[in-house]
Amino acid sequence: MDILLGVLEKIERTLATISGLTVGTMMFLVTLDVGSRFILGPSVPGVFEAVELLMVPVVFFAIPYCESERSHIRMAFFIDRLNPGGRRLAEMLACTCGIAICSLIFWGASKYTFESFIGHYKAGPLAPIPIWPFVASISLG
């Protein structure tokens, strides 16, 4: 069991690191685009679409780490007022709802990943970036 938890922790940290590096990439692209507009006039084609797509792994790769650190939003104001049995019940209800919602997101994202891969869906006309890797990052996260 400890080995499995160790592997999951490494995966969480790796995904969180990728999320952070993706934020840096987004910042670089936006800075490049603004600089290009300021110095040369036109913006760099496809930067808007690329940044839009990069937001997906930024969010979904960071969620597992936030969950493991228990740093996501909680209703502490209400939960702290419950007795230990009520807290356990509230935690079980929250976990059950979370698992159900995450399962639905995983199912929908996996289905759309396959559809966008088969259909060769692209992000936009300016930069024909395939969207399936970014949709797949939802399922991976």
Q: What residue spans define the domains of the chain? A: 2-140
Provide the token pair at 53.
């797509």
Residue 133 burial (CB < 10 Å; 0-12/13-18/19+)? middle
What tens digit of pLDDT does each residue of 93-141 get? 988 998 999 899 999 999 999 998 988 888 777 778 888 888 888 888 7
| pTM: predicted TM-score of the whole model, two decimal places | 0.75
What tens digit of pLDDT does each residue of 48-61 get? 888 988 999 999 89
